[in-house]
Homo-oligomer: A and B are copies of this chain.
Amino acid sequence: MSSWEKLTEEQQHQVEHQLQILKRGAADIVPEEALKLKIIKSVVTGKPLKVKLGLDPSAPDIHIGHTVVLQKLRQFQDLGHEVQLIIGDFTGRIGDPTGKSETRKQLSEEDVKRNAQTYQTQLSKVLDITKTTFYYNSSWLGELKFDDVLRLAGKMTVARMLERDDFAKRYAANQAIHVHEFFYPLMQGYDSVSLESDIELGGTDQTFNILMGRTLQGAYEIKEGQVAILMPLLEGLDGAQKMSKSLRNYIGINESPNEMFGKTMSIPDTLTLKYFELTTVLSFEQIEEMRQGLAACTIHPRDAKLNLAKTYVAMYHGEQVAEEAVQHFLTVFQKGALPEEIEEVSLSRNDLDAERIGLIKLLVQLGLQASNGEARRSIEQGAVRFNEVKITDITVQITPQDGDILQVGKRKFVKIKLT
């Protein structure tokens, strides 16, 4: 490659250093060769690359799954590149044009602003927020008129659109795809046109949308199309499905230290290294060392996981809190003792029937379980203790007293307060 040979040795070293960091953990880079060329150019000219990430404008509640791309962004920042965070408020303000879905509510301008503020607060835990530029895509998309929109739509074929996984499936299953839905990838792509992004980050489920940005940049004659860096989707606590709020298998970065610690300890051992690699700032060498230790059985899987849990608490609550969380966890779960502080929850005497209440109903009433079904299963699985006594009979009637302690699994405790 001719441009490579024109570099000084020092520059070659810089390029290789950046590539090693940036490629780490990525599921795919499309096209990989273009990433190298962009980094070479940046090293030679001293001009940072523009690295884009699109954000949903709804109220953020960032979890460890999200931090996979955020950590990659942070790596770009640490290497001197420029981060473009795009709040998709234009899409969000539109709501659901079919008017059929109630879940997709139209966001007001104030909602969007408030959510952006929350993003800023939450993202500052991972990114260097002083080096991060926020954009609202309404500022360019909102200005487009019908003929601009037609020009945009003219860049893409219907067949190509229907190749997108979810469209293909719905079309094959005779499920309605409304014409405006084609515009979601087109809008995301147009954001890259508007900001002339060099790189866009996203999960592998964003492949189609991100490559759309590359295609549209070509169609709008922005010389070098953006490169897609596609990060793996992180499995949630269940070790199977993608971590997400709706599946309740997530670790939120705003959760309490003990909750965060406990949840982390509940992931399957097989995921510890992946979590480390994708969501912490541990160096390549540190992770390699751990990998070898685990393989050689010189590191116990539980200790690696404790280390991960402590790392998270340190990242999101500080070093000192992390130490305390370790102690708390060891006290409660390792030794089987009750935690020092247990939340008191009120129980109205009106819910009792001749001072008694079924255990299932009690679990739901106290908020320990979301539904009767869930409560029944927990009891049957032996996860429920009343004053430290395991109860597996789902028909049991309890006569609760002030101070009684009800426990589900290893981490949920409440102290009853009759009112």
Copies of this chain assembled into the complex: 2
- Please name all residues of chain B whose beta carbon is closer than 8 Å to the beta carbon of A149 when the two chains form the complex: 146, 149
When each residue 155-174 of chain A gets 1 if its CB lies under 8 Å from chain B and 0 otherwise, what string results?
11111011000010001001
For A159, the chain B residues whose CB sits under 8 A away are 171, 174, 176-177
Chain B proximity of A276: nearest CB distance (Å): 42
Other-chain residue from B143, B156, B167 in contact with A179 (beta carbon distance below 8 A): B156
Residue of B with least CB distance to A96: B154
Q: How far is the CA of A177 from the CA of B158 in the complex (A)?
A: 6
Interface string of A78-109 (1 = CB under 8 A from B): 00000000000010011011110000000000
**Residue of B whose beta carbon sits closest to that of A182:** B179
Mask for A269-282, Cβ within 8 A of B = 1, else 0? Answer: 00000000000000
Size class of the contact patch on chain A: 35 or more
User: Which residues 174-201 of A have a CB within 8 angstroms of B?
Assistant: 174, 176-183, 186
Contact pick for A182, options B99, B145, B158, CB 8 Å: B158
A147 to B149, CA, bound (A): 10
- Asked if A151 is at the interface of the complex by the 8 Å CB criterion, the answer is yes
Interface SS of chain A: helix
- Nearest opposing residue in chain B for A167, CB measure: B158
Give the complex CA separation of A154 and B156 in angstroms. 18
* B residues in contact with A59, CB < 8 Å: none
Question: Residues of B contacting A97 with CB < 8 Å?
Answer: 150-151, 153-155
A144: Cβ under 8 A from any B Cβ: yes
A141 interface residue per 8 A CB criterion? yes
Q: Whose C-beta in chain B lies nearest to the C-beta of A179?
A: B153
The answer to whether B179 and A158 have CB atoms under 8 Å apart is yes
Q: Contact: B182 with A150, CB < 8 Å?
A: no
| Cross-chain pairs A/B with CB under 8 angstroms, 9 sampled | A90-B146, A141-B146, A153-B178, A153-B180, A153-B182, A155-B178, A156-B178, A156-B179, A179-B182
